[in-house]
Amino acid sequence: MRHSDSGCSAHHHSCAAAGSVQACVSIVPIFNHLEPVQLEQIMETVQSATYKKGETIYRAGEKSDSLYIVHKGSVKIYRLSASGKEHMVSLLHPGDFTGEYALFSESIHESYGEALEETQMCIIQRDDIHAFLEKYPAISLKILQEFSQKLERSEKQTAYFATEKVETRIALYLVELADKLSSGKTVVLPMSRKDLAAYLGTTPETISRKIADLEAQGLLKQLSKKKLEILDVDGLL
Amino acid sequence: MRHSDSGCSAHHHSCAAAGSVQACVSIVPIFNHLEPVQLEQIMETVQSATYKKGETIYRAGEKSDSLYIVHKGSVKIYRLSASGKEHMVSLLHPGDFTGEYALFSESIHESYGEALEETQMCIIQRDDIHAFLEKYPAISLKILQEFSQKLERSEKQTAYFATEKVETRIALYLVELADKLSSGKTVVLPMSRKDLAAYLGTTPETISRKIADLEAQGLLKQLSKKKLEILDVDGLL
DNA sequence: CCCATTCCTTGACGACGGTCAAGTTTTAAA
DNA sequence: TTTAAAACTTGACCGTCGTCAAGGAATGGG
């Protein structure tokens, strides 16, 4: 097992030896089913890094050779199109990970990772992951499960873009959010209009307008910029 | 290893015991690196089925518990949106597979599979696959590679839909096709305008119009309905 | 070969939503 | 707290593209 320390000395973000990193590994679905002994082995190889709000974690074009797990904070993954438009791929919270592509083929990042707040990441090198997979094949199955779920969601997402108009995509997003939070009927938007637009493939202006329209139709109510009360779920669909 | 014969007796498509199924397994990237002995074991568990043009292989809502590998012919995978619009997810050719989601979690199909011509499929049951993965962990790595590639492509696809307008998507599709076929500058569209529209998230009318526009701009030339000569790759991008 | 069906193309029209701009509110930094 | 910057909203305008409709081309079965 290689104890690489690359990625720390040469960067401006702060790094730490694996200290309270334990939680980081044990909250990830990929690893959280493992025996304590195995967990400990993995934790020995984990790098930790913290990023300030707005700081870039990786950028498109850079070599990609590690798995990033969010420990604390949140991370925005986005792509830039040839025409310079931003598309947000996903928003990562503690326990989520990124960099999967790198694990199984030499590759470079096609997306950007950016901390949305003070964020701590756990980083595992590809070679270390490979060693674990050989040692504990059960991990492969877990990763395969995660991958197939991600794939399923990504294809569903693509289908939405291909077949639904913006208003429908926004409505679907709000309903999905309400389901996920299951916080009654009040939804808290987890990001700015700009980011939401980048996620849903539209513009901040259209988001504002459509939410206003939905409110005018009596389907929801804006409690504040970020807080919406869903009044009629079926009407939204 | 279980030798299920479900899916044959009860259906109207024709089935066959594993006969000339050998090629089927050995052409798949997932398996083609295995030893002959291992290949043979897998082949013993393979079901074979043939479908006529237009025949449905599986539909959304059905239980999903096998991996489908295309042996001969071609298959269209598509989704139907709530509003009834069709989105083509992919077009499968010999060596391609589908049904991956099912392999790692109890699940039902979210898409439809339809034979576009006389097609022969090889079918492997989930339980059999699982047994192989435990026996030969190397297969997991291969599948993980395939998955991460599919995931990468799917996210790129989503980004296109989110950020590019229809004309750009069509142009990008043509260029990609030209690259893949590497057949000089002549491209043969592998599907009808209707299917192409379902793939690119637009309508047959718009496809016709945009291709006509591109021709008017001198970027390509229609040799026939399905044959296009790319005149200016850079102009298309 | 003929006919019916499906596929493709083109036109007219309008809706959806992107862009630009201006004004307002919120946020964060000094 | 004050001030600058960023975020949000709303209006006006217009380009892109989806819809509906009609005519022509290609395809396949009898």
- Confidence tier at A97 by pLDDT (50, 70, 90): very high
Residue A82's SS3 state is: coil
Note the Cα B182 to chain centre separation in Å: 20
pLDDT confidence of residue B14: 54
pLDDT tens column, B16-27: 544 456 678 888
Question: CB neighbours of B55 closer than 8 A, spacing ≥ 6?
Answer: B13, B114, B115, B119
Question: CB neighbours of A142 closer than 8 A, spacing ≥ 6?
Answer: A29, A30, A31, A33
The more confidently predicted of residues B169 and A184 is B169
Q: Is the dihedral of CA B33, B37, B42, B47 positive or negative?
A: positive
Note the Cα A48 to chain centre separation in Å: 18
pLDDT confidence of residue B208: 98
Query: CB-based contact (8 Å) between B153 and chain A?
Result: no
- Percentage of chain A surpassing pLDDT 90? 64
Tell me what the pLDDT averaged over chain A comes to.
Answer: 88
Contact A110 B152 (CB under 8 A): yes
- Confidence tier at B206 by pLDDT (50, 70, 90): very high
Averaged pLDDT, A151-179: 96
Residue of chain A with shortest Cα separation from B145: A104
Contact A104 B156 (CB under 8 A): no
- Confidence tier at A6 by pLDDT (50, 70, 90): very low
- Confidence tier at A96 by pLDDT (50, 70, 90): very high
> What does the angle CA A25 – CA A26 – CA A32 come to, to the nearest 5 degrees?
115
Query: CB-based contact (8 Å) between A176 and chain B?
Result: no
Residue B88's SS3 state is: strand
Averaged pLDDT, B223-229: 95
The more confidently predicted of residues A133 and B181 is A133
Residue of chain B with shortest Cα separation from A78: B159
Q: Half-sphere exposure of B105 toward its Cβ, with a 13 Å CA cutoff?
A: 15
Query: CB-based contact (8 Å) between B217 and chain A?
Result: no
Q: How far apart are CA A157 and CA A90, in angstroms?
A: 11
Strand partners, A14: A50
Q: Which two tokens stand for residue A157?
A: 């997402």
pLDDT tens column, B60-77: 999 999 999 999 999 999
Residues of chain A with C-beta less than 8 angstroms from the C-beta of B81: 159-160, 163-164
- Confidence tier at B12 by pLDDT (50, 70, 90): very low
Tell me what the pLDDT averaged over chain B comes to.
Answer: 88
